[in-house]
Amino acid sequence: MSDKTENAPYHVAIIMDGNGRWAKQRGLPRVAGHRAGTDNLRRVLESCGELGIKMLTIYAFSTENWRRPEEEVKGLMGIFEDVIDRELPEFHEKGVRLRHIGRLDGLKPVFADKVRKAIELTKNNDKLILNIAFNYGGRAEIVEAVKTLIAKGVKADDITEEMISAHLYTADVPDPDLIIRTSGEMRVSNFLIWQGAYSEYYLAPVYWPDFDKEQMRLALEEYAKRHRRFGGL
Ligand code: IPE
Ligand code: IPE
Ligand code: MG
């Protein structure tokens, strides 16, 4: 029997939340939760192929996450850099195309460079498109788009929704069909606020390190039952 569900979403986005609480529950430091979360990402990526998901966007670090204690931010940056160093060859081999949404400036130049190289290396892959939202903020993204349009000399009356979409980090990425947030928290936390205007939302009742293939399957099952109306009937 195939694992693919009827009416599978093309683009799934995930707010990977709850690493800290997962660690706390076990008496571990928060950074151990982030490590467990990263290990889980590998498993979730494998399940995407089996479940028929072609595009996955993950929220890894927000523009607001810089407000966390320096030690945690450092730990997170270290983990992300490790992931690129360690996992990139396997991602590439498995046909994963990596993309980044967010700002690369503001990151350590060596790290930003690794991200650019990973994007370049995998640009022709098409098994799974993985958009990593890193140093990403939805409001900052819209502000940047508007600034670019003004700098191009576009007149106020000529601005359209399509133009704004075309100047976001996600310029050629279709809007997410389904946005999942783990950990039960009910907010968007500045994630894809423009692109998610008509996305279906799903809250998974587990912390991110525990979000497994079965949890993903439940989310897709729920999505398949939804009736998307986009304002129509
Ligand atoms: C999500 O887990 C990962 C990042 C934001 C980088 P959290 O670190 O937010 O974990 P909780 O929400 O505090 O449990
Ligand atoms: C959202 O989670 C950001 C990521 C998952 C990267 P947060 O944990 O930062 O969100 P808030 O602070 O609870 O809203
Ligand atoms: Mg959180």
Q: Is the CB of 190 under 6 A from ligand 1?
A: no
Helix/strand/coil for 44: helix
Alpha-helix runs per DSSP H in 64-212: 70-93, 109-121, 138-151, 161-166
Distance from C-alpha of 191 to C-alpha of 104, rounded to nearest angstrom = 17
Among 14, 15, 16, 19, the mutation site with the greatest number of ligand 1 atoms within 8 A of its Cβ is 19
pLDDT tens column, 20-74: 999 999 999 999 999 999 999 999 999 999 999 999 999 999 999 999 999 999 9
Q: How sure is the predictor about 165, in pLDDT bands with cuts at 50, 70 and 90?
A: very high
Does residue 106 or residue 154 have the better pLDDT? 154
Q: Is the CB of 76 under 6 A from ligand 1?
A: yes
107 has which bridge partners? 105
Task: Identify the CA nearest to 125 among candidates 170, 175, 91.
Answer: 91
Pick the CATH number of 11-137+174-212 from 3.30.460.10, 3.40.50.1370, 1.10.150.20, 3.40.1180.10: 3.40.1180.10
Task: Identify the CA nearest to 41 among candidates 23, 60, 22.
Answer: 60
What is the Cβ-side half-sphere exposure of residue 148, based on CA atoms within 13 angstroms? 14
The answer to whether residue 164 scores a pLDDT higher than 60 is yes
Alpha-helix runs per DSSP H in 94-175: 109-121, 138-151, 161-166
pLDDT tens column, 82-140: 999 999 999 999 999 999 999 999 899 999 999 999 999 999 999 999 999 999 999 99
Instruction: Name every protein residue with a CB atom under 6 angstroms from any ligand 2 atom.
Output: 15-17, 59-62, 65, 185, 187, 189
Q: What is the pLDDT of residue 77?
A: 97
Q: Is the CB of 91 under 6 A from ligand 1?
A: no
Q: Are 37 and 208 in contact (CB under 8 A)?
A: yes
Atom 1, ligand 1: residue with shortest CA distance: 17
Q: Indicate the average pLDDT of the chain.
A: 96
Angle at 111 between CA 107 and CA 116, to 5 degrees: 100
Q: Are 191 and 13 in contact (CB under 8 A)?
A: yes
Q: What is the pLDDT of residue 7?
A: 86
Q: What is the pLDDT of residue 2?
A: 57
Query: How many C-beta neighbours within 10 Å does residue 129 have?
Result: 20
Distance from C-alpha of 101 to C-alpha of 136, rounded to nearest angstrom = 6
Q: How sure is the predictor about 214, in pLDDT bands with cuts at 50, 70 and 90?
A: very high
Domain assignments of the chain as residue spans, ordered by start: 11-137+174-212
Q: Of 3, 65, 125, 175, which is the active-site residue?
A: 65
Q: What is the pLDDT of residue 205?
A: 98
Q: Is 177 a catalytic residue?
A: no
Q: Is 65 a catalytic residue?
A: yes
Atom 9, ligand 2: residue with shortest CA distance: 65
Residue 17 CA: nearest ligand 1 atom is 1
How far does residue 203's CA lie from ligand 1's centre (Å)?
15
Ion ligand 3: residues, CB within 5 A, are 17
Atom 1, ligand 2: residue with shortest CA distance: 189
**Considering just the CA atoms, what is the radius of gyration of the chain in Å?**
18
